[in-house]
Amino acid sequence: MNIYDTIIIGAGHNGLVAAAYLAKQGKKVLVLERRDIVGGQVVTESFGDGFTVDSLHAGGTLRPDIIKDLNLASFGLVVDSVRKPFISLQPDSNHLVLDANPAKAVESIKRFSEKDAANWIPFLNFMDKVTRFIHAANETIMPRLPKGFNFSEGVDLAKMGINLRMMGGADMMKIIRGIPMTADEFVDEWFESDVVKAAIASLGIHGFTLGVFGAGTGYTLMHNWANRGGLSNVSAQGGVGKITEALASAVKSFSGEIRTGAEVKRILVDTFTCKGVVLTNGEEISAKNIISAADPKHTFLNLVGAVNLPPELVWNVQSIKMRGSVAKVHLLVDNIDAVVAGATHASPLPATFVIAPSIKYLEQAYDAAKYHSISEKPYLEVTTSGNVVSVHFQFAAYKLKDGDWKTEGAKVEKVAIETLAEYFPNLKSSIVNTKTITPLDMEQTYGLTEGDLNHGQIMLDQFMFMRPIPGWSNHKTPIDNLYLCGSGVHGGGGISGASGWNVVKVLK
Amino acid sequence: MQQLRNTPFHERTSALCMPQNWRKWAGYYVVGSYEHTIDREYWAIRNAAALIDVTPLMKYIIKGRDAARLLDRVTTRNIQKMSVGQVYYTGWCDDEGKLIDDGTVARLDETTFRLTAAEPNLRWLMMNAVGLDVQLEDQTDSVASLSLQGPNSRSVLKRVCESDVDGLKYFRLMQNRLAGVEVTISRTGYTGDLGYEIWMDAKDALKVWDGLMEAGHDYGILPVGILALDMARVEAGLFMLDVDYTSASHAWIESQKSSPFELGLDWTVALDKAGYFVGRKALEREKREGSAWKMVGIEIDWVGMEQIYAEVGLPPQVPGSAIRASMPIMVGNVQVGYASTASWSPLLKKYIALAHLQKPYYELGTDVRMEITVEHHRKHAPAKVVKLPFYEPEWKKR
């Protein structure tokens, strides 16, 4: 029988990063993916003729060190050289254009506040330091607190502390203070214009079920900024799917195996070790180690089974807040130039547009998530690619008070189009095809429990050494040879690959 | 603050409780002693028949396809091996292998069990039942229970039960009719004597009480409070939660917790059963590495006591009931442990105690000294580690 060194459950970016590193070390690895395509959340899919979209994430990139280690350029990954301008659309058409070129951004900010314009470059410098700190934090294996803290973990943690200290006392304090702050408070320390503040604060709630007045959105703002490397994404040429395609090619080039259409039904557990997996078709596959890139809730409660796990751990896993509230609306239009004309404010396509006109607007959009409904006036982040307009829609609560996601997708689509039409008057008449992905689709099609892109919200009680659960923050589990590497572990949340990279260090 | 409740037997017990000696037990009032001294009640347990209201025991019904699986996961015993009608004594641990509580599991039918506990455990059971097909029901209030203990207890039951109890073996149960009502009778108890526990619907409580008191009249039956029971359970070497050990679920510090091995429950830890159960990893480690502590019996040397008391011109004094206090135990000038309950045994004519001793002092026959207070001065009475139980009549299991 074919025994693998490691089976990796899920061919998302983290699973593939882990697989590529292990295969590169000469390990015999097998990646099992339930869908017919690899990529997980990082996929480019076609929904019809000419209607090819980045399904869930319109952009993103792996950490540069991972791209280099795995030589992903040789597997066809070309990272965009320019960062798209980040344009906050305003009802009065006086749009804020935060160009990647700081001088251009300053010019645009001046129209809102001279003082804010003067603060823009110091803010970018500070956010560079934030990015360095978060990258350092994300490559640190978190110690198991309160139990199991040992010397080697202490060394890693000390390195992270040194990184933080190297930033200088004042900036270190600013970063630490920023973590529990609200996104509103965070930007309020730098800027006075509501338009400028809201545009930046929107990043603090992007992908999260949190409002800009929520504690800890200071951290999520820094987290998203660090993963993106700025306000808007850089991406891979040809779509985000190229990232995972390159990873898959890397895995195969190192003689790793990837099987798609192979859904794991259970992890076979014998008291404190796992022997392998059984697929939904009944096939059993053995391995010395198993790494699950699926979310911790699905991994522990469905794949391992609560009966095989300590009750405190089960309780902690049940308590992980998933709470997805993102929907995606993709629109195929017949003439993209006509649609965006007048809205780009002289900035050439492609761009990232946000509907985040004020701090209060963002908080009110979030109210829908609190009350289990769909925002009437949503926070949107909009990107274009060819003739496709992709809308990231917040908030659309996974658990709806009224109605269900079998029918409410149409409402999300309608609200998204109506909202955008206020800024793009030619949009409606130009739409030729639509594809809406609801939180329920994210669960059923993409395997994200409760439609949570993060595999568990990033909140103050679910981050760093409390991610995915307190006491098990180092990729390990009570099953000796079962490891986690998805977004639900520290390093995860957003596209970076840190979690998949870190698990390999733990396995050694 | 929640008012303590009365048990379904209160109408009878309150009329009989002469000294108004009431004790709190798990949210209920129960009788401490029915008479001003507890001697007669103690001797009823050892020589005749004692009727004890044990309703405050927590009672949980665990029902469903995975009921055995849940109990196998929670407790340290191998529940899969249990036959219908069998009762197991068991403890259950947290995942660090420290005891949370102890009680009995009764297999009422293939998929129904009753678990008794000293403290509320419903949340713990629910936490462990995730993903299992079981229903949990707390029957603490709806089911009343009486303990009938003593060498005459079988004769009393034979007189009042419809079906014969002769065939009912130790740690087995049967359905029966008693004084015209449906009851479950298990051959279990907390005295180390021949004895039974009778489980009934709370509304039938008084009928069963009256039936037993009437049937027991010629056998010297007495209603017995928990003070006499406390003396008997020490003789039987049975420990009590919150007196002899602290539940891991509410210990303040690690050192307050105890493992089943440390309490002498080695025989209840089925490390040969399959799969994960709560605490397994820690218990396997402790089994391999040995326990730091052990609960043992100690017998205090009477002659040594006489000498200590003679120094102040008194004969030895012994407590009139079990003392629930921590008493240091020494070897030389070093404290090697403590006694958690001490009692004069009227039957054995010995001063005995349940003691927790550190390795290696828990070996049988070790000479130790227990602190006693003589006329306001701390003294150390010589004692010896002995085998538990202190008392086990040959009719207990017969």
The answer to whether the CB of A164 falls within 8 A of the CB of A136 is yes
Chain-chain contact of B95 with A310 (C-beta, under 8 angstroms): yes
- From the candidate CATH numbers 3.20.20.70, 3.50.50.60, 3.40.720.10, 1.10.238.10, the one assigned to the domain spanning A3-42+61-77+237-321+455-507: 3.50.50.60
3-class DSSP state for residue A487? coil
Residues A83-142: pLDDT tens digits? 889 999 999 989 999 999 999 999 999 999 999 999 999 999 999 999 999 999 999 888
Suggest the residue from A307, A314, A317, A479 to mutate for an interface test with chain B (most B CBs closer than 10 A).
Answer: A307
Q: What is the DSSP code string of B57-117?
A: SEEEEEESTTHHHHHHHHBSS-GGGPPTTBEEEEEEE-TTS-EEEEEEEEEEETTEEEEEE
Strand A284-292 and strand B112-117: the pairing is: unpaired
**Chain-centre distance of CA B355, in angstroms?**
16
Distances (CA, A) of B251 to B99, B245, B262, B277: 10, 10, 16, 22
Q: Calculate mean pLDDT across residues B152-156.
A: 98
The residue behind tokens 């000796």 is: A480
Q: How many angstroms separate the CA atoms of B318 and B389, rounded?
A: 20
Q: If DSSP states are collapsed to H, E and C, what string results for B112-127?
A: EEEEEECCCCHHHHHH
pTM of the predicted structure, to 2 decimals: 0.93
Instruction: Report whether the peptide linkage leading into residue B360 is cis, meaning its omega lies within 30 degrees of zero.
Output: yes
Contacts of A307 in chain B (CB under 8 A): 69, 73, 130-132, 276
**Mean pLDDT score across all residues of chain A:** 94
- Extents of the domains making up chain A: 3-42+61-77+237-321+455-507, 120-228, 326-444
Q: Calculate mean pLDDT across residues B173-196.
A: 97
Q: How many angstroms separate the CA atoms of A138 and A492, rounded?
A: 8
Contacts of A312 in chain B (CB under 8 A): 94-95, 127
Chain-chain contact of A308 with B69 (C-beta, under 8 angstroms): no
The answer to whether the CB of A243 falls within 8 A of the CB of A13 is yes
Residues A188-239: pLDDT tens digits? 999 999 999 999 999 999 999 999 999 999 999 999 999 999 999 888 999 9
Q: How many angstroms separate the CA atoms of A61 and A70, rounded?
A: 14
The pLDDT-based confidence of A341 (bands split at 50, 70, 90) is confident
Q: Calculate mean pLDDT across residues A483-500.
A: 95
The answer to whether the CB of A446 falls within 8 A of the CB of A40 is yes
Domains observed in chain B: 5-57+140-224 (3.30.1360.120), 59-139+259-289 (3.30.70.1400), 293-386 (2.40.30.110)
Suggest the residue from B80, B130, B134 to mutate for an interface test with chain A (most A CBs closer than 10 A).
Answer: B130
Q: Calculate mean pLDDT across residues A247-272.
A: 97
Helix ranges, A206-253 (H): 217-228, 241-253
**Mean pLDDT score across all residues of chain B:** 97
Residue A161's pLDDT is what? 81
- Residues of B with a Cβ under 8 Å from any A Cβ are 69, 73, 94-95, 124, 127-128, 130-132, 274-276, 278, 280-281
Q: How many angstroms separate the CA atoms of A81 and A242, rounded?
A: 15
Enclosing H/E stretch for A259: strand A257-259
Strand B181-186 and strand B87-93: the pairing is: unpaired
* pLDDT at residue A347 tops 60: no
- Candidate from A75-84, B47-56, B118-127 with smallest mean pLDDT: A75-84
A272 has a chain B CB within 8 A of its CB: yes
Please list, in sequence order, all residues whose beta carbon lies within 8 angstroms of the beta carbon of residue B20, skipping any fewer than 6 positions away.
none
Higher pLDDT, B149 or A151: B149
The pLDDT-based confidence of A508 (bands split at 50, 70, 90) is confident
Structure tokens at B109: 């039918």
Residue A18's pLDDT is what? 98
- Candidate from A151-160, A176-185, A276-285, B187-196 with smallest mean pLDDT: A151-160
Burial A148-171 (b: 16+ CB within 10 A, else e): eeeeebeebbeebeebbeebeeeb
* pLDDT at residue A344 tops 80: no
Backbone φ and ψ for B81, nearest 5 degrees, come out as -80, -10
Contacts 24+ apart (CB under 8 A), B155-164: B155/B49, B155/B219, B156/B49, B156/B212, B156/B215, B156/B216, B156/B219, B156/B221, B157/B185, B157/B196, B157/B215, B159/B215, B160/B211, B160/B212, B160/B214, B160/B215, B161/B185
| ipTM value greater than 0.95 | no
